[in-house]
Structure 1
């Protein structure tokens, strides 16, 4: 019995030593685990990997991310890349995160890619992993619970979306609503994934800045543009906010132009007093609003179908300032109000309930702790979740029963 245990344990120790000894040939790092550093349980996630090959010549490398599933089995997600020696390169890997994976550790590895050559068997065409060149341990990435929504923001400012993240005692729900929304802000063109799986965990992407190089839609590669389009068609919601400094969306050249609502060139209105749009921006009658702003209004194109240019929000004069296009199972919305205006940011506008509720189709009261009464503060602290399916997975997997049976068999027969 003791000899059998040594036989099983010793090779694992030697293998671990070999892995650590080979780890310097290719240096690995994880720049982002998830979109903007946020991922969600029970969902696809993109992992942005930085790799530097210290070898002397170009070669193909297999990047592999190992993820244990809910049954304890190890799943492997591979991508074959070509290394440029001495240069730090960035690549994306995509993996499915199991439920209850928060706090887990994952292993990223690099292997020498061995070309299997041509074959009559399709399963043998391509590359297989050879000698291991490096490894990197991913400790405790930010993985959100499955009942938390994720919003992505391409731009510097969150435009009031952070209000959907108000909670108390780090509870994964809103104070007076249901699904908490975590915002992944500060996204740029460079850290967008190149496949739709990397965007899958996001319910909405708000493109708030487009006039800087790091946010210019014209810099999108064909792969990243295709990923965004497929993400929308699969149910994603892309929200584009036009800026006062210019309109690169309708007047510029970029690969997302066919996704935008089918409208005539947006009408630019300068020197606008936003008082006429107060009810669309804030619920507070006393909040000071800019009196000299730029607003865009939209008119559907003559040949546009109804679903290609749907008015969402209109001013008191009947001007459409938010327009939408349905695309597959998702949608693309263009906002003509100056949500990036500095004065709006200083007063905490737009209000989530006044503006974003209507655009995103959300409900519930959005309040900060300093806006709640003593009774409301007491109520939210006593709130507790009620789970209806917590024990189902354990009942199916029979956790513990199989282990006891195997141990009993070892004792009896060995």
Structure 2
């Protein structure tokens, strides 16, 4: 082939490409999302016990059996197509009996409040003991951790002490750190808090490894909560890289955020357009970085155990879960055992409704044939379909 320039110097491009691959691994066409929990369950530290997960699962299963007698009720309550309702019903019951909580957070922040120092110290030790018992019994969720107090509250020493004491007890009792651990870092109103917290984790990591006599290597990562409009201003794709990979996720805090921008109480809800804006900023900032995203919660429980009240709660929660999924947020917070039923039912229905069609479109692309229905897929769409199938496989397994 005839050319004009000959050999083109590419050194500058190569450096940019290396940076791109490190910063945006999700831009690689072969990248697929790994397992991500569909929810995070928050339990106040003073109410957390070794049997908490089993208790939540038992209460959720009892509600499902009482108020979802069969597929017809699933179709009616959650708006699931009748053809999918039997599979959703069966999967929900099985999930609640087998793994009701995928991600657990022991809350030392808003759900716990301000306590005397000695009381918080004691609760941190007690929580660590419960974690060790769960690890021994095989009941510790695949993802777990704690939420510490915010640096924005003006007492970072308290936050650090709780985290230090909790992890020291856990690692000593377990002979290391059980897999799946992550710290939730709330109310990040200043960008400077992020490197400060990452540095705290690095120092604590080294100290814990020394305490174990070098028998185990630890890697402490955290998820930052987006709970204020100020936070949106410094969300960028290079954050995870700058924090040396310690930033695992960003979680949206609906009530602090909507209060901070002055929404009236009745409008402090996940499906408010202001929350959509915040979610889209998060999606844009972290696209391709591998940083996981999670939505917030519904601050409501059934008004009573009556079928009408339970189903009303499930319908509202399912609306919010569907809204999150439609906006690209595949994880959210659950604050009451009843939420587990509507969470899993909505997630399963979401994935099952499109799974076969997505798989056929990917196969058609790979086989260089028409997918049917007049669909003309672009390569980017195929990558999205493949990623959606990978996420569905993880959620439905």
Give the TM-score normalised by the residue count of structure 2: 0.29
Higher strand share: 1
Instruction: Tell me: higher relative CO, structure 1 or 2? Use CA pairs within 8 A at least 6 residues apart.
Output: 2
Higher helix share: 2
